[in-house]
Amino acid sequence: MNPDAPLAASSSPDPAPHPSLVRRVFIGQNGLRSGWRLLIYLAIVAAVLGAIAKFLKVGNSAGRTSLSPIETGGGAAALFLISLLAAWIMSRIEGRSLGQYGLPWVQAFHKDFWVGLLWGIGTTSATVLVIFLLHGVTVSGGPVHGGKLLLSAAAWALAFLFVGFNEEFGFRGYLQFTLTTGIGFWPAAFVIAGLFGLAHMGNSGENMFGELSVVLFGLLFCLFLRRRGTLWWAVGFHMGYDFAETFLWGEPDSGLLPTHNWFSSSFSGPKWLTGGTVGPEASVITPIMLVIVGLLFSLCYREVKYSTTLKQVGRLG
């Protein structure tokens, strides 16, 4: 070996250049960071809402005291389409399938939806039954009879289907998906549940106990999503719960009185039992019932199916 020979060039590759500060702020391991994606999504929603409000000169409906199928379903359908449009735009930006955000149309109205629907109707009915057994409610015939009964049932079913779409996809669709990629599923779920409660604070007659139930509802819906992998079970449950609450039993919903209902429920007794003017949402029975439903659901559905990876794009459509 010649000691005067030049050393051989190192075969190790040059170290990769450090990304710039701007790139580190905006780009993570999975592309554009989740916080920026959320801001873009919310900006799209706000822009569309602002344009519609300006064009239609939409007024403030915070002072309403009753629920009707047309008003309830129409508003929910419009908001759902706006959030769906924003999510579709984001899916093009991110290179994902729209169905990966929770509502794959290839699974639309399959078994999960109908099972969730029955669970929702059963949960509301069980709550009314418990309050009845504790002498807190009297059930009598409602204002709808005869041939108008089926028409009213169909109108409320369609209205609450859109309510289910709007609130489940609006809160636990793109928002839940994107926050999960940034901070994990359950931290995101608690944030979304808190936002879900804040969104219901404008309801006429709502109080702090009703708000607690709304937050628990939000966490329960997140559990449905995590174990079933899509929002279809949650949409069915949401629709069934509201349908039974308003049309079937004629209860106040967040302080709003029902119309075109089959039965009418008249509550009397302590507020902790009946919820007062807010309705059973503010009753102590409701959070207890939600915990029971969560436990039963967890026993029936043990597998975690929710995922934010691109592996699910083809399967979810």
At 148-185, the pLDDT tens digits run 999 999 999 999 999 999 999 999 999 999 999 999 99
Q: On the CB side of 234, how many CA atoms lie within 13 Å of its CA?
A: 28
Alpha-carbon distance of 131 to 185, in angstroms, equals 35
Closest residue by Cα to residue 293 from 173, 163, 127 = 127
- Band of residue 313 on the pLDDT scale cut at 50, 70, 90: very low
State the DSSP code for 27.
E
Q: Which residue has the tokens 């609130």?
A: 167
Over 70: is that where the pLDDT of 6 sits? no
Percent of the chain with pLDDT over 90: 64
User: pLDDT digits over 40-67, tens only?
Assistant: 999 999 999 988 877 766 555 555 677 8
Provide the 10 A C-beta neighbour count for residue 288.
13
Q: What is the pLDDT of residue 21?
A: 56
Asked if residue 127 lies in contact with residue 290, where contact means CB atoms within 8 angstroms, the answer is no
Percent of the chain with pLDDT over 70: 82
Q: What is the pLDDT of residue 210?
A: 75
Positive or negative, the Cα torsion across 283, 285, 291, 297? Answer: negative
User: pLDDT digits over 212-234, tens only?
Assistant: 888 999 999 999 999 999 999 99
Q: What is the pLDDT of residue 58?
A: 53
Alpha-carbon distance of 166 to 184, in angstroms, equals 23
- Tell me the mean pLDDT in the region 19-39: 71
